[in-house]
Amino acid sequence: MDSGELNDILLIILNKIFMDKQENIQTDWDWLDNESAPDFIEELRECAGEIVMENPGIDKEEWIDTLLRQFPCEVVDAYGTDEQEVYQALSHLWETELADPVPVPIPNNRATTQTRDRK
């Protein structure tokens, strides 16, 4: 899937969620008066980590696509509905928290000491 197709999917999902949320705007924001407001970004981080754990070797584009399909409400709650801002925020999340170095095996059964970044 190329980035154009991914952007189209993102836009469709975000627009649908946005329209659904507009219908229930009052109930969605009742928590604003509550001191224990949900941490939407933390919830999204947990979802994002689940995808990485369940899909070893997943790349950033596939991860974003999977996250948008499986957790669209969490994405909108955390980052809003602006397509470019959401993509940038998810890319930043991937690069700063999820793209941990992956061990690279070294020939001759020596210990693994080199790493490469997950793409």
pLDDT computed for residue 107 by the predictor: 54
The parent domain of residue 48 ranges over 3-117
In this structure, what token pair is assigned to residue 51? 């995808």
Residue bearing the bigger pLDDT, 50 or 113:
50
Q: CA separation (Å) from 116 to 5, 48, 98?
A: 28, 21, 13
Q: How many domains does the chain fold into?
A: 1
Give this prediction's pTM. Answer: 0.55
SS3 80: coil
The whole-number average pLDDT for the span 90-116 is 63
pLDDT computed for residue 33 by the predictor: 53
The whole-number average pLDDT for the span 52-72 is 92
